Structure 1
Amino acid sequence: MSTMTIDAAGQVTPARVLHSEWVKLRTLRSTGFTLVAAVVSVIGLGLILTAVTANRWPHMSTADQARLNPTQLSIGGYYLALFVIGVLGVLVISGEYSTGMIRASLAAVPKRLPVLWAKAAMFGAMTWVLMTAAAVVAFFSGQAILGDHGVSIGDPGVLRVVMGVGLNLTVLAVLSVGIGTIVRSTAGGLASFFGLMLVLPSLAELLPSSVADHVNQYLPSNAAMSLLETTPEAHQLQPWTGFAVFGLYAVAALVAAAVVLKRRDA
């Protein structure tokens, strides 16, 4: 049964469509468990990595100590959370197609597109709040464990990296909702998501290095990573440029999803 509601005049409003999506997200146990798993991934893995490093520090070579990036170490759980959020984003829409609930949602909102905007906005907002909070906790906890070997939030690039965790995962949330809408099938959506984020970069590595170095930096996973580097590496986009490129992938997916949603039957 759809949770969509209308105002006193009988009109569907953006606020009520958003509220409907909020109700759907918070009442699904699987959504709550998955978001908790993403938070635990960011905080828990960051704590484990920093604790292990702090314990091994006296036994590390000078070269290994110099290569250590305390900021990235404390947010190491980002890489696991990336896939958790991506999978959930696909399921947010493909799950409704698999159960048939999407028909009720689209019947309540005949123009269709407000449903897509609301799903992307609500899931993106939830992701940003939770993942930003998790990244902040992971960073300060991790640096406390590292002690004198850690860094400060005011050091160059550090605040951007910590805030970048939430920003990147929010864009990823929107991107995955777009993919789920385009494909509609859970299996197909997940295959498309993993193909875009994992397989495509691997295939690019098969290209001649002169071509791969240029192409790789524009692939979604690599473009997103530029925001999480305190100092940009060779053959990598500048942080905010990379984030903008990653954002364009999400916009393109959402636009394509809108076209598909308008043209296809539920």
Structure 2
Amino acid sequence: MTVSRVIRSEWTKVRSVASTVWTLSAAVVVTVALGMLISALSTGESGGPGPRRALSFDPTLVSFAGMALGQLAMTVFGVLVVSTEYSTGTIRSSLAAVPRRGVFYTGKVAVATGLALVVGMATSFAAFLCGQAVLGPLRTSLGDPGVLRAVVGGGLYMTLIAMFSMGVAAMLRSPLLSLGILMPFFFIVSNVLGNVTATKEAGRFLPDQAGGRIMQVLPQAGDDTPYGPWGGLGIMALWVVAALAGGYAVIERRDA
């Protein structure tokens, strides 16, 4: 089967599964809604962050406050796209139809990545625009220095989260096991390692910690991170490449 046919086949699979629609819809809704809520709370009763916080107040980053929950939905999406066929047993018929496993894997990842990119970008821009509308006089605009980079970076960040999850799911071949590892990793392990003094230096190089820097416009107080926004996204991209390569190695070497 040619690559184009594999891509069409994978597109049919993705759009026909209800969980895909629900997880991607959840990514948009929770990211935008929570971002608007935090933006509204950030204005405070006095309508501002206060004189001491004014210099470090990052209205762009505030509008991305819901990105953590959006990241959760993108993680679920990436896992389900790859591992559902293993849990249902349909992977055998899929590999029988596409014996070249590299082509099969590439087609699946390409389709899911394209969809994640579209949804991620739409979510990032929607979260920013809605958040700024709520912030009122504290808002910033896409034309201000660093803002467009942060908004585009937010969409790329969500895409890379989904791709990393795809690679992990391809290696583990189980949705429950994959989510059982990725959820604690992103929401517990990474936060602990990134905030505990003894492990803070190493925690900065975890995929979500490094990649999340792309969404910052203004440096946080006391921030001494040794890389910039694009450098952090590059570190995250390396993690993604490693995860996808691991997934490819497992698919090539192990039976369905």
Larger CA Rg, structure 1 vs 2 = 1
Alignment partner of 2:33 out of 44, 48, 58:
44
Contact kept, 8 Å, 1:226 with 1:236, in 2: the verdict is: no
What's the offset of the Cα at 1:58?
3.3
**1:194-229 CA distance string (max 9 Å, x none):** 2442444356369764xx343122111211112111
Alignment partner of 2:175 out of 186, 199, 209:
186
What's the offset of the Cα at 1:139?
1.3
Cα distance change, pair 103–243 in 1 and its aligned pair in 2 (3 A): same
Q: Given residue 80 of structure 1, which amino acid in structure 2 is its aligned partner? A: L
Asked if 1:230 is matched to 2:217, the reply is: yes
Instruction: State the TM-score, normalizing by the size of structure 1.
Output: 0.88
What's the offset of the Cα at 1:19?
0.9
Structure 2: distance between partners of 1:207 and 1:136: 32
Counterparts in 2 of 1:109-148, with a 5 A limit? Answer: 109-148=98-137
The corresponding residue for 1:161 is: 150
**1:2-37 CA distance string (max 9 Å, x none):** xxxxxxxxxx11111111111111111111011111
Cα distance change, pair 59–251 in 1 and its aligned pair in 2 (3 A): closer
Unaligned runs of 5+ in 2: none
Cα distance change, pair 236–82 in 1 and its aligned pair in 2 (3 A): farther
Instruction: State the TM-score, normalizing by the size of structure 2.
Output: 0.91
Q: Which runs of 4+ in 1 moved over 4 A?
A: 205-208
Contact kept, 8 Å, 1:121 with 1:174, in 2: the verdict is: no
Cα distance change, pair 207–148 in 1 and its aligned pair in 2 (3 A): closer
The corresponding residue for 1:6 is: none
Structure 2: distance between partners of 1:205 and 1:124: 27
Cα distance change, pair 121–216 in 1 and its aligned pair in 2 (3 A): same
Structure 1: distance between partners of 2:191 and 2:29: 28
What's the offset of the Cα at 1:38?
0.5
Q: Given residue 219 of structure 1, which amino acid in structure 2 is its aligned partner? A: L
Structure 2: distance between partners of 1:178 and 1:60: 41
Structure 2: distance between partners of 1:231 and 1:149: 14
Cα distance change, pair 206–234 in 1 and its aligned pair in 2 (3 A): closer
Asked if 1:248 is matched to 2:238, the reply is: yes
Asked if 1:98 is matched to 2:87, the reply is: yes
Q: Given residue 213 of structure 2, which amino acid in structure 1 is its aligned partner? A: S
The corresponding residue for 2:162 is: 173
Residue-pair matches, total: 253
Contact kept, 8 Å, 1:223 with 1:236, in 2: the verdict is: no
Identity %: 36
Unaligned runs of 5+ in 1: 1-11
Contact kept, 8 Å, 1:93 with 1:181, in 2: the verdict is: yes
Contact kept, 8 Å, 1:98 with 1:185, in 2: the verdict is: yes
Q: Could you say what secondary structure the match of 2:123 adopts?
A: helix
The corresponding residue for 1:77 is: 66
Cα distance change, pair 149–204 in 1 and its aligned pair in 2 (3 A): closer
Cα distance change, pair 55–197 in 1 and its aligned pair in 2 (3 A): closer
Q: Please, what is the CA RMSD of the aligned residues?
A: 2.0
Cα distance change, pair 42–111 in 1 and its aligned pair in 2 (3 A): same
Cα distance change, pair 140–203 in 1 and its aligned pair in 2 (3 A): closer
Q: Given residue 137 of structure 2, which amino acid in structure 1 is its aligned partner? A: D
Structure 2: distance between partners of 1:69 and 1:189: 34
Bigger shift: 189-198 or 99-108? 189-198
The corresponding residue for 2:229 is: 239
Q: Could you say what secondary structure the match of 1:94 adopts?
A: helix
Greater relative CO, 1 or 2 (CA 8 Å, sep 6+): 2
